[in-house]
Every structure is written in C-alpha cells, then in structure tokens.
Amino acid sequence: MLKPKVLTQVLNQANSGGVKSTLLLTTEGSLLACAGYDDQEMHVAALAGNIWTSYTKNAEELLDNDPLGMVMIQCMDGKVAITKVADLLLCIYANKDVQLGLLRAKVTALREYLKDPLTQVATAAK
C-alpha cells in the first residue's frame, strides 16, 4: 500500500534546481498530494487539470503517439510540466529560469518511479 508520507517524500525529491512544487492530481485538477509550496500552487493544479482535459479531448491520437506523453507550459512567472501516471496527473511547477530539458527529465524520472505503485493502487481501488 502507498503511504501518504512516503509519497510526499518521493514528490519532494524533484524540488531542487528551481523546481518549486510537485503535485499529484486527479485528471479534473483536484489535489491529492503535493510537496513544496508556492502561492501559485492551487492555481497551477486547477489549470493543469483543465489543460490536460482539453489536450486529451482534442488530441487523443497525438497523445498515444507522443513518446513524451506530456504537456509543457512556459508562462511569465514559471514553467509547468504535466504528465499522466496511472489515472492521475503528475505536475511539476518551476521558476521561469529552469531549463525545459531539466523539467522534462525530472517529470519523466518521477513518472517512471511512481508508475507501478500508482497503477497497483488504481487497480485495487476498482
């Protein structure tokens, strides 16, 4: 079973090198777990859910053929990377100075690490 405290510690490992917070969300944007804190965090969570829903509705075949399987957003105040893990969204919010390659590497590594445990939890919940 996945323990909330351990999950927060795992998410927190990505919070370095300009990464402000790491979030685990439902596909609707509801926050399940987070590490790090920023005033923008709740806005990022809601925005991430909406963006992901729009992206997958309008580009399902693109998502299936996309080896990255993620959405990266560059804003005035920071950068966001969103990817799907099991039936959840993993979102990393970083300073605007963080390189997109570093952000992509962090979200990819974290996605691969969480993939099996979150899939097992999702399967058990069904």
How far the first Cα of the chain sits from its last, in Å, is 15
What is the rounded average pLDDT for all residues in the chain? 79
Give the model's pLDDT for residue 13. 92
Domain that holds residue 51: 4-125
The pLDDT tens digits of the residues spanning 50-76 come to: 666 666 665 555 445 556 678 888 888
* Domains held by the chain: number: 1
CATH code of the domain in which 74 resides? 3.30.450.30
* pLDDT surpasses 80 at 99: yes
* pLDDT surpasses 80 at 42: no
Q: How distant, in Å, are the alpha carbons of 8, 34, 59, 95, 111 from that of 21?
A: 11, 7, 27, 10, 15
On whether the CB atoms of residues 77 and 96 are closer than 8 A, the answer is: yes
